[in-house]
Structure 1
Amino acid sequence: MILDKLKRFSMALDSPDPSTVPVYSTGDEVSGKVVLELSGAMKIQSLRLHAEGYAKVHWTESRSAGSSTAYTQNYSDEVEYYNKKINILQLDNGDVTVLQAGRHEFPFSFQLPEENLVTSFEGKHGSVRYWVKVKLHRPWATVRKIKREFTVIEPIDINTPLLLSPQAGTKEKLARVWYCNLGHVSLTAKIERKGYTPGEVIPIFAEVDNCCSRTVTPKAAIVQIQTFIARGTMKLKKSVVATLQGEGVAPRKRGSWHGRPLKIPPVSPSLLQCRVIRVEYMLRVYVEIPGTSKLSLELPLVIGTIPLHPFGSRSSSVGSHYSMDIDWLRLTLPERPEPPPDYSAVVSEEEAGRTDQGLTLPEEDDELSGMLERPFFAYVQEFRYRPPPIYSEIDPHPPRSDMRRRCMTC
């Protein structure tokens, strides 16, 4: 009969879109409500909420100790990131609470910590999950449970000097087929920065110098590397999330990519702060050589959550520096400089006359030394309104005759 009285037991997290999993960041407040619909009066011992966040890994490996002995080794580990319990409905003295028939709503809220949280992730051998669990305890009845997951995104700002720094590299190899040398192949690649966000385009600058006797093909790919760690052992899983193929480079020719675009698909951000799970990315630029192994060059990538600011952040390329400086100058400097104002419009004749009278120097050396003890700024102010000298083509200080003879002898 107790089960018949409980018509509905549900929980909802506040979200703009109820059909999707709510997304939060570090320091955000998680809120929601628990709904009970009863067909009659019911006794409740407690209604408790438990919010948790864990990173867990698990995988198995087969081992062979000899020709006839084999066993399976299990690897597992976990890290707790959040654990909070809230009593939504419970009396302090331990008595039961009687709820009448009808609909009852119990709101709740809690705040996520400002740090020590990592981004939610689902991998082959592990995951990082956050959820809210509500338990309903009643006398002489089974415990009813509800569980709802939510997503946490750790902010990764790519507007930092480390993630804005350009990445470049060079590699070369001697292509060989059996005992025949085909020649050298060299590869140089560069990208403007290390940090990107999903949906952005990576301009790739590359150059392939094909000195071998076969046509080679340059390609590029974004590779995701998942690393699971447990008991000092690591398990790797690599997957290609985006690819790009260029045109073939003929023998004894050189091919170039001048900002060839490669778009980043909607992938999970980099996970770098977890002890048991790491998610890393790299850009692999490689050259396929028929009949032999490829020439590969790997550049590190960090997939962040905060995109590049259009203004106020440093660009990694010299060209962007130059264009940014030019635009700034265009915004601050007028097209044609204004002519200076006329002197008569600034200084009147009376001010100029008073300034000339005030510029008479004392005859005694003591008075001159006393003047020089004043601050230097005072002398600058005295010459502020002095009229300009009168223009004349006659030199007021002609050279002396003895100086002319000295110059002629030299």
Structure 2
Amino acid sequence: MSSSTNEISIILDNPSGIYAPGSLLTGSVIVILSKPKKSRRITIHAYGHAKTNFTKTHYHDSKNEQYHYSCKKSYLDHCIPVWKPSNGIEKEELQPGQHSFRFSIGIPWNCLPNFEGRFGHIRYNIKAEMHLSWSFNLTTEKRFAVMSIMEPTIYNQPVKGFISQTNTFSSTKLVKAEITLPKRIYACGEEITVAIVIDNHSGTSIESIETGIQSEACYAGETSFSVCSKRKTEHECFHSFCKTESVHIPDGGRDLYRRTFTISKQLPTISDCPIIIVKHFVYVKINKKGIFSSTVMQTIPIILTTASLEPLQLPPKLAITIPPSAPRRDFVEKEEAIVNSIVGISLSSSIHNISSSNSNHHLNPSTSSSSNFRPSSVPNDFALMETYGAPPAYNEIDTILSPTSNPPPNPSAPPEYDETFVQKF
């Protein structure tokens, strides 16, 4: 480093840069000065938003014209000073050398997971700025990621889908199938077992079965032009973990097909964002023999999360017994104090979830009715666990774009931003 260089940098306590909703974003702002500098303040700003951007063609004035659509929704916008002049003065001189300033910012529970699509994204950044007098401010910026979490109290029952297709030329000839999944919600690293019971009375044999995950993304945008609709949507669809296997089920036959595969890397479900919706389905295609035989297809919706929380394991003598009725406040505070002194984890959210697990709880892992930060049942160093890695990069996702989708972006093109913790289609 040159003796005349001034620098500012951000060092996160969590080197992976991956955080759970409700956890704390902590770290230090490091300022290195080569000579005294007068500053008004040093701030740290954490912000994140969902944003869409696409164009649509409309016929207007006897010609086709393109109109731009976009939308933006903020999920995190928190700016705090990490240093300011003492005694209420306007500015103060910082001496040469290295200075370190600590910060701590709560990530709201309603923050959605990171997402990178063709027509939109969800990103989170943290920016440090030293405000100088009669000079350009010193600034630095770093990206971090937020994951979606599946709570351990969510109970999943097996889900089923049914196929029934009648032959075009005869109502008595049909194919029936029953598709069973062990549950509806899955986290990265989990296995999905697809079981299909097939009754073939179609008049021809079944020769192959294709299975996989079909993902759909919907982007909403608005425009200021009055000649066209104020709000439009754009769609994107792709398939992953696709596999076609040859089978032979003759006419009148009945058979069971089963496939198990691991969700190694996949984009999480996003369902409570007004401008970006991401849905996933397990799909099954049954291919019959014959020139005029159509393909039978069925999809079952599933929910994918970045990670799942394991139930907290306590020593036998300190195991908590939740009474059937709503827990008393003094009981909750006493048990929380005991557990916090041992493992440093707040159980307020977990106890609330357990006491209400018998109600019709929604299965959306990222939904929250409040944007305010609240104490978390997730430990602050949750993202340091080796079980959960960074979200997949663009070239790491096992995807096959559908023929109707737009061509993929050029991988050799220079990126518009740092892709260290970014998911892409």
Q: TM-score, normalised by structure 2?
A: 0.64
Matches within 5 A, 1:347-358: none
Distance 1:274 1:5 in 2: 47
1:168 aligns with 2:160: yes
1:289-327 Cα offsets, whole Å, 9 max, x none, are 35344210111111133268799xxxxxxxxxxxxxxxx
Contact 2:7 2:138 (8 Å CA) reproduced: no
Q: Determine the structure 2 residue equivalent to 1:377.
A: none
SS in 2 for 1:6: coil
1:64 aligns with 2:80: no
Q: Determine the structure 2 residue equivalent to 1:54.
A: 49
Contact 2:286 2:295 (8 Å CA) reproduced: yes
Contact 2:8 2:128 (8 Å CA) reproduced: no
1:238 aligns with 2:228: no
Distance 2:115 2:266 in 1: 11
1:33-70 Cα offsets, whole Å, 9 max, x none, are 1112222222223212211121111111122237x411
Q: Determine the structure 2 residue equivalent to 1:128.
A: 122
Residue identity matched to 2:260 = P
Q: Considering only aligned residues, what root-mean-square deviation do their CA atoms show, in Å?
A: 2.8
Distance 1:216 1:309 in 2: 44
Distance 2:192 2:261 in 1: 5
Q: Determine the structure 1 residue equivalent to 2:301.
A: 300
1:352-380 Cα offsets, whole Å, 9 max, x none, are xxxxxxxxxxxxxxxxxxxxxxxxxxxxx
Q: Determine the structure 1 residue equivalent to 2:192.
A: 202
Contact 2:284 2:298 (8 Å CA) reproduced: yes
Q: Determine the structure 1 residue equivalent to 2:273.
A: 274
Q: CA deviation at 1:227?
A: 1.6
Q: CA deviation at 1:86?
A: 0.9
Q: 1:263 to 1:255 in 2, by over 3 A?
A: farther
SS in 2 for 1:116: coil
1:225 aligns with 2:216: yes
What fraction of aligned residue pairs are identical, expressed as a percent? 21
1:106 aligns with 2:105: no
Residue identity matched to 1:58 = N
Across the two proteins, how many residue pairs are aligned to each other? Answer: 299
Q: CA deviation at 1:72?
A: 0.9
Contact 2:9 2:128 (8 Å CA) reproduced: no
Contact 1:120 1:153 (8 Å CA) reproduced: yes
Q: CA deviation at 1:287?
A: 1.0
Contact 1:26 1:152 (8 Å CA) reproduced: yes
Q: 1:14 to 1:310 in 2, by over 3 A?
A: closer
Residue identity matched to 2:98 = R
Matches within 5 A, 1:10-409: 10-15=9-14, 18=15, 20=16, 22-65=17-60, 68-91=62-85, 93-113=88-108, 115-157=109-151, 159-161=153-155, 164-174=156-166, 184-210=174-200, 211-231=202-222, 232-254=231-253, 256-257=255-256, 259-289=258-288, 290-291=290-291, 292-304=293-305, 305-306=307-308
Contact 1:207 1:254 (8 Å CA) reproduced: no
Distance 1:302 1:96 in 2: 52
Distance 2:158 2:124 in 1: 35
Contact 1:34 1:105 (8 Å CA) reproduced: yes
Q: CA deviation at 1:180?
A: 11
Contact 1:197 1:307 (8 Å CA) reproduced: no
Contact 1:241 1:265 (8 Å CA) reproduced: no
Q: 1:310 to 1:151 in 2, by over 3 A?
A: closer
Q: CA deviation at 1:159?
A: 4.6
Q: CA deviation at 1:282?
A: 0.6
Q: 1:283 to 1:58 in 2, by over 3 A?
A: same
- Structure 2, unaligned runs of 5 or more: 223-230, 314-425
Q: 1:310 to 1:192 in 2, by over 3 A?
A: farther
1:312-355 Cα offsets, whole Å, 9 max, x none, are xxxxxxxxxxxxxxxxxxxxxxxxxxxxxxxxxxxxxxxxxxxx
Residue identity matched to 1:208 = I
Distance 2:100 2:285 in 1: 60
Q: Determine the structure 2 residue equivalent to 1:316.
A: none
Distance 2:124 2:268 in 1: 17
Q: 1:186 to 1:308 in 2, by over 3 A?
A: farther
Distance 2:142 2:172 in 1: 61
Q: TM-score, normalised by structure 1?
A: 0.66
Contact 1:226 1:236 (8 Å CA) reproduced: yes
Distance 2:140 2:166 in 1: 63
- Structure 1, unaligned runs of 5 or more: 312-410
Distance 2:135 2:253 in 1: 78
Higher RCO, 1 vs 2 (CA within 8 Å, ≥6 residues apart)? 2
Bigger radius of gyration among the two: 1
Q: Determine the structure 2 residue equivalent to 1:325.
A: none
Distance 1:102 1:44 in 2: 15
Q: Which has the higher helix share?
A: 1
Q: Determine the structure 2 residue equivalent to 1:355.
A: none
